[in-house]
Amino acid sequence: MRIQVIVKPNSKKEKVEKIDETNFKIYVNDPPRENKANESVIKLLSEYFGVQRSKITILKGIKSKVKIIEIGK
């Protein structure tokens, strides 16, 4: 499954907000430096979808707030 996420770094609370079936907003505490925000995004999505972190891949947008992510089974 592929989803599009909009990442909001430096947020007070960490959460996943579903917009529709393939679009999500993800709020993370970490800053967008040294790949910390991306790691938090993967962690939150693995908890949200109940899959291992290794099954989640950022396909596009490593350095962008808008990312395309693939979630395997």
Instruction: Return the exposure string of 12-25: e unless at least 16 CB atoms fall within 10 Å of the residue's CB, then b.
Output: eebebeeeeeeebe
Number of independent structural domains in the chain: 1
How many residues are there in the chain? 73
**How much of the chain, in percent, has pLDDT values that exceed 90?**
97
Q: 73 pLDDT band (50/70/90 cuts)? A: confident
Total-model pTM:
0.91
Region 20-48: what's the mean pLDDT? 95
Helix, strand, or coil (residue 54) = helix
- The pLDDT value recorded for residue 2 is 96
- The pLDDT value recorded for residue 24 is 97
Region 51-67: what's the mean pLDDT? 96
What domain range is 57 assigned to? 2-71
**At 8, which CATH number?**
3.30.1200.10
Region 49-63: what's the mean pLDDT? 95
Region 24-38: what's the mean pLDDT? 94
